Amino acid sequence: MPPRPSSPRLLIRSSAIHAAGCYTLDPIRRGARVIEYDGPRLSKKEADDRYAGRDITYLFGFGGQGDVIDGFGTAMFLNHSCAPNCETVEIRKRIFIQAIRDIAAGEELVYEYNLYDSDDDNADCYCGAPHCRGTMFSGEEVARRARIAKRNAAKGKATR
């Protein structure tokens, strides 16, 4: 049996994107799994109750039942970017972060958060990418919010 490829060495340090970020000390090949996003599994209701009124959480939604992972560990330090070098992959209710291109040693590891189902109005993005969308929301969530705003604006005009 061939030896299992080792995981890259990772370092948490200051990030220009947001407070702290996760950097690789080793080159990572495209398609390689970098790390698992792990932590306690909660229902959406449990997570909403636990984090009511908190601005910062490390919750990661997965599966089709509204379950979340309460992020705990190195993976919670990977920041959002509109020009990601990683993506998330769900395999049997586990979330892995893998490289979508070759990544050089010293690079910050980033992926698109594609947020949804948030009370936050903006989820502003500060990634600094040349084509930054300005939000960490998914494209689908941005479109959904635009439809709601358009409907609400039409209702407002109708009542004047």
pLDDT tens, position by position, 99-152: 999 999 999 999 999 988 666 677 899 999 999 999 999 888 888 888 988 998
Residues contacting 36, CB < 8 A, separation 6+: 75, 94, 95, 96, 97
21 in a structural domain:
yes
- Indicate the pLDDT class of residue 158, thresholds 50, 70 and 90: low
pLDDT at 120: 63
- pTM of the complete model: 0.86
116 in a structural domain:
yes
17 in a structural domain:
yes
41 in a structural domain:
yes
CA angle 2, 8, 11 (to 5 degrees): 160
Residues contacting 96, CB < 8 A, separation 6+: 33, 34, 35, 36, 37, 88, 89, 90
Residues 32, 23: Cα–Cα separation, whole Å? 15
86 in a structural domain:
yes
Mean pLDDT of the chain: 90
pLDDT: is 11 or 159 the higher one?
11
126 in a structural domain:
yes
38 in a structural domain:
yes
For residue 97, give the CATH number of its domain. Answer: 2.170.270.10
Name the helix (H) or strand (E) containing 94.
strand 94-99
- What is the count of structural domains for the chain? 1
Q: Across residues 74-89, what is the average pLDDT?
A: 97
- Indicate the pLDDT class of residue 155, thresholds 50, 70 and 90: confident
Question: What amino acid is encoded at 86 in this protein?
Answer: C
pLDDT: is 120 or 54 the higher one?
54
21 beta partners: 13
pLDDT at 146: 87
pLDDT at 56: 81
The string over 34-71, giving b where at least 16 C-beta atoms fall within 10 Å of a residue's C-beta and e elsewhere, is bbbbbbeebeeeebeeebeeeeeebbbbbeeeebbbbb
Q: Which domain holds residue 67?
A: 10-158
